[in-house]
Amino acid sequence: MANLKEVRTRIASVSSTQQITSAMKMVSAAKFRRAQNAIIGMRPYAASLQEIISDIGEGQGTFTPFHAVRPVHSVVIVVVTSNKGLCGAFNSNVIKLAQQRIEHWQGEGATIKLACMGRKASEFFSRQKNLSLTSYDEFLDSPSFDAIAGLADNLMADFAAKGIDRVEVVYNKFKNSLTQIITCEQWLPVESVGGKAENGERKANNDYIYEPSQEEILREMIPLTLRSTFYRMVLDSLAAEHGARMNAMQKATDNATELIKDLRLSYNKARQANITNEIIEIVSGSEALKG
């Protein structure tokens, strides 16, 4: 059994760690609340915009270059992780799925380009050879629509110029503070996701009045929809990150609490054993003197 000094030192060390994890949990909880409000506010707008665009374009053919489906020779995979750790399996799950997508497209003979948002992904994939990698880690420090929309515009321009044939985004979709859904979402080319009824049939289109023409509206609205979707995915990842870190720090705090209890029990047992030994020595000495 460890001596009393070692146990006391261990208790002090674990107590210090417990204070740190508890403070980090409170910080993550505050950030999580803001990120949750942001994604909850963004989702209805993005979903409604996507539904309207799908209704407008339903059955009208392809009006923008962003719908063009062609043989895939060049793929951009956008990997969204975090800049910091201590969030459980949040980053490792995204990296694992991104690695699977890389292997899939390499097997198809496509050229892979990575756009990493988050230092964890950048650090991991920078160690791999034969991968073209661009980092946008600074976007997550203070995410703004303008900065993220700028990246989206660059990708759209490359796709329209046929420099790339497909763009996928790998990220954690936010569900709640305890659950993140690992997602790989096709961003380009645009997929028609028109609304469907419960029986699987297409819902009737809304009776829109177009001014200006339907084609011109699509040309203006599709890029806006793509920017909003891209921004929504980043907000999803941020909310999921803070939720994962808050949960991880709560578990770490609980584990530290249990460990402190065990250490204190061990300390008390060792202390009682020392006291018992001292009493035995005193009694033995007293009996020796009597004899």
The DSSP secondary structure of 80-92, one letter per residue, reads E--SS--STTHHH
Q: Is there a contact between 243 and 82 (Cβ–Cβ < 8 Å)?
A: no
- Characterize 18-37 residue by residue with b for buried, 16 or more Cβ atoms within 10 angstroms of its Cβ, and e for exposed: beebeebbeebbebbeebbe
Tell me whether residue 116 is one of the annotated catalytic residues: no
Beta bridge partners of 172: 182
Tell me which long-range contacts 127-136 makes (C-beta under 8 A, separation of at least 24): 131/102
First to last CA, the chain: 34
Among residues 7, 53, 76, 87, the one annotated as catalytic is 87
Burial level of 245, CB count in 10 A (0-12/13-18/19+)? buried
- Taking each helix axis from N to C end, the angle separating 145-160 and 214-290, rounded to the nearest 10 degrees, works out to 130
Structure tokens at 96: 């694992």
Positions annotated as catalytic residues are 87
